[in-house]
Structure 1
């Protein structure tokens, strides 16, 4: 039985700063592209904490990775900062045919993923990049509205660094949870972590988006400036979320050095 749609959908696109569902969806896609390093890593940490990618890919009902977000006042289609348009509320793995927001298109989206994976397998991508586990269906849902974006996210079997590789280890599980919280704080602040053009496997480039005359553009920041930006958006204005690792260790928790990060760096 499909999950029932919430009876209270009080917000229209106009209520969250957009003229139509399409413009809200376009803004949501751009926000995803801007924060794709952080959101991909949130997915890595969440999936790892739930048993890992192989558990996710086990035979059975098809599943979708669902990111629930909330529209933010800082970002509207009328010139708002595209890195601050939404805030991540929750991430979950659901049975595709049982979720109200994605059930209708789940079969179509899954077929697209299957076709893409078949094409990538035929081109030898799975052989060239042995960490690549395939494309997986994801959905971004704006809470309280009917706005839903369907995306495809690249999954990789990336080894853990700085903590034991055992997912049953208590410290490993704590750090995975801390990673999700840490990156959520980063995203909420409007600070950006971006794949490096020189080598996307390296520690991400830190920066933010600044307004020019005609558009918003990415501007790199020094490490201390970037952390100050994150802190300034923190409610307490004092510290980053408590973690057992340093910031640099948190940003290299997943070891991508043996991967090409196939289809992860989509630009932005």
Structure 2
């Protein structure tokens, strides 16, 4: 694989760093281009990868191309991509609201396209990424792309129509989780703990609870029941959260993200 990144900002850069750190690709086989040539040179020197002066140069060098630019940049960059696109190349897009069909409109209906929706924990190799492909990407080609996202956390193949749901449950949800952690920490501060220590206690508890769900295979509802001793502190907290509409608030936030994603795709 010769892997190219058109844009390596926060998300693209996190994926790039994570995949390099996995050791599954050699630095000499990675190419990057970007609008800010000074930042590009600095990044490529730091990571030991190849800078490209323009999209044309990168397209010539690579057979898997990550489209790491904002949705509003697609009308500008895609004609340049299309000019150099050939059937041996796979385009991988991480842009919210940009469908596989709309990308095909630039490069043709026979183009091989994969659409992904990672999240910001990619920066610490704990991303959750959905991966969707069109019919032109065969299993062997898909595995090579899927491996990139497995190297930076967990990945699941889903139908593209579920991407709005993915955005609600994982793409945007780190933000809701940060809110929960901060609220816990602020409550601890009000009870005498300093903010730095309180944040560690809250964040580690969220991390541990998440690992319990992933590694035990026990339903989250049962895990909650298991920790709620009758007449204890935890069940008192859970009852209060339920009375205050905790689940309904989370669902409302989720749905707002989903609805916005659908609107962006129109």
Give TM class, smaller chain: under 0.3
Larger Rg computed on CA atoms? 2
Larger RCO (CA within 8 A; separation ≥ 6)? 1
Higher helix share: 2
| Structure with more strand by fraction | 1
Give me the TM-score of the superposition, normalised by structure 1: 0.25
